[in-house]
A and B are shown apart, each in its own frame.
Chain A
Amino acid sequence: MSGFNKIINTDFINSLLKISSSTNKEMVSDLLKKEQWNLSDFPALISPAASEYIEELARISHNITKQRFGNTMQMYIPLYISNFCDNTCLYCGFNVQNTTKRKRLSKEEILKEAVHINEKGFKHILILTGESNEKADSNYIREAIKIIKPHFSSISLEIQPLSTDKYAGLIKEGADSLTIYQETYHKKTYEKYHLSGKKKSFNNRIASTDYAGQAGFYRINIGALLGLYDWRFEALALAHHLNYLIKKYWKIKFSVSLPRIQKISTSFNVPFKVTDLDITQFICAFRLVFPDTGITLSTREPAELRNSLIKIGVTTLSAESHTSPGTYSGQVNNGKEQFSVSDHRRLEQINACLIQNGYDMVMKDWDRSFQS
């Protein structure tokens, strides 16, 4: 079974889940005596039994992260440029069924936003759009990159899935990184929450990471939206997806995110609650098995939790985020938010916290000269 088929095979992931649930404390205790861990250890590391060893896991995770990433924390800021969307994803504020006002930034508005957030000191930017063929196609995104490029060292994209050629065109224009989440790796659950639009197809969604890999992004960030299904299932599938991608696209730096569903204005009851302990164990398991993989934590999570998790394995943080288009420079404030932000601290406040914990805030870790 190839790496790709393993990820999309629910039975295979379920069989790993069984290994996880039958792991006992003794097995975990033995496992933690090792010096290096691999993918076959993953089910035990995320097991309920291992959650009782969370302090030990966190200490190991902390040490590995310090060694591999040093005393640094990479910062970025998201920039939403359009919230038009063709998809019906029941948990998302951009859901096409939501009748609230939509906004797509013009070139001038994008520039204003870029200049404004650049002045705050950010050098790494993540451009986001809803998935609309008409309003946020690759031409619109290319234009946005062109405008933003002179102001930032690194440009990441979180946009609708595209073909390899279209991704390659955006890299050529100046994008270096891509974020794309599978949302859930559990096919039946996926189909339950993605009712219409291009995103309806589970397999197409998964294949888009391959298109991105073939296109040659420098960095790709993958993840699952935690809360739609059993987090342990998602963690196992994500680990296998990551392993498959690392081996196949060996020149690309992969990282993972673990966004938890946050409140949106339309009521959506989170079907699988994911606790702070779960998130912590998730991070530790990834750090032990993938010591060089970056882990991103967004402002979806509250300040207090972020302050704790930076010490455990997180390597990249967003800050000062707004999740509706045009709000940084105060041009518009009527666009729909994708989700609500929990950590509202200013960059300086986050920096103060990082310094207190012995971390150096890194604003720039890429250079346009790599690409042109």
Chain B
Amino acid sequence: MFTTMNNRDQLIIAGKKFKSRLFLGTGKFQSSGIMIQAIEAAESEIVTTAVRRIDLKNPQDSFIKNIDPRKYLFLPNTSGARNAEEAVRVAKIARASGVSNWIKLEVTPDPNYLLPCPVETLAAAKELVKLNFVVLPYINADPVLAKHLEETGCATVMPLASPIGSNRGIKTKEMINIIIEMSNIPVVVDAGLGCPSHAAEVMEAGADAVLVNTAIATAKNPVLYAEAFKLAVESGRKAFLAGIPGVHNKASASSPLTGFLQK
């Protein structure tokens, strides 16, 4: 029964169905060969790449050439944009090249921690939705912003667990829980997940998917680590679906103390 349920369990974004709940980023890998192997080991179906890294005019570009659009949904991102105007322009270029009309919206005015700007992200999201993009915005774990973006028509929200590339785990747990509780669109936890247990933890909490890049790309064995993340995401998802038993601080007596009242 469990297996049957699991087979039916799909992630749906903008009407598109996915079996995998693990998105992969493509930066920081030591070669495109290892990147592809890691994507395969992760069994990811959604793969994101910065537009600034792709040579859109060149069919021999290592991303365009290696990421088969029949197997993967290629999700270009606006990494590097400092404001809404730049992000919208980059998204338009990506779409015009025929790569995708999906866009992972990243507006990060600070170039070191790459924290997303709520003001410019919301402005860009409004514009991009109007232009019929499927918009997946990267945000700080701000539940109110997440609702605004949902109302704007975004396809998902992608709150960060901790600063991008930091591998620090889930430092925004309380806020992510509220986002999951309040959201009507898929919540994809993005940034900061350093090890599979981090991914399992947010999946157990009810996140719809996670996105991982640095942890896998910089692992000693990226392919094996990608597989480990895949298993953790599946494990966390199954636990969430199974219903996690409540945690009790105190022992509970197996024979009820107030049983006499039933008599």
Measured CB to CB, the residues of A under 8 A from B are 66-72, 123, 153, 218, 246, 250-253, 292, 355, 358-360, 362, 364-367, 369-372
Contact = CB atoms under 8 A, between A and B. Distances in A.
Interface of A is mostly: loop
B103 interface: no
Interface string B218-243: 10000000000000000000000000
A68 B52 CA distance: 18
A292 B114 CA distance: 10
B214 A70 contact: yes
Contacts of B30: 70-72, 358-360
B177 interface: no
B110 A370 contact: no
B217 interface: yes
Given A364-B55, A365-B53, A367-B90, A355 B111 contact: no
B217 A71 contact: yes
Contact of B29 (A123, A252, A360, A370): A360
Given A123-B55, A292-B112, A369 B31 contact: no
B28 A364 contact: no
Contacts of B218: 66-67, 70-71
Nearest to A254: B111
Task: Give the 3 A-B CB pairs with smallest separation, nearest first.
Answer: A70-B28, A71-B30, A253-B111
B112 A251 contact: no
Interface of B: 27-32, 50-55, 80-82, 86, 89-90, 92-93, 109-113, 165, 167, 214, 217-218
A367 B55 CA distance: 8
A246 B112 CA distance: 9
Contacts of B214: 67, 70
Contacts of B109: 250-251
A113 to B, nearest CB: 21
Contacts of B50: 365
Contact of A370 (B52, B53, B55, B111): B52
Contacts of B113: 292
Nearest to A372: B89
A366 B81 CA distance: 10
A356 B54 CA distance: 24
8 contacts: A67-B167, A72-B30, A251-B82, A253-B112, A355-B31, A367-B80, A370-B81, A370-B90
Contacts of A358: 30
A369 B93 contact: yes
A29 B109 CA distance: 37
A70 B51 CA distance: 18
Given A67-B218, A359-B30, 17 more contacts: A66-B218, A70-B30, A71-B28, A71-B31, A153-B55, A251-B82, A253-B112, A292-B111, A360-B30, A362-B53, A365-B50, A365-B52, A367-B51, A369-B51, A370-B52, A370-B90, A372-B89
Nearest to B27: A70
Contacts of B111: 251-253, 292
B81 A70 contact: no
Contacts of A370: 52, 80-81, 86, 89-90
A371 B85 CA distance: 9
Contacts of B52: 153, 364-367, 370
Contacts of B55: 123, 153, 364
Contacts of B165: 67-68
A72 B82 contact: no
Contacts of B53: 362, 364-365
Contact of A71 (B29, B90, B167): B29
Contacts of A70: 27-30, 214, 217-218
Contacts of A367: 51-52, 54, 80, 90, 93
A369 B88 CA distance: 10
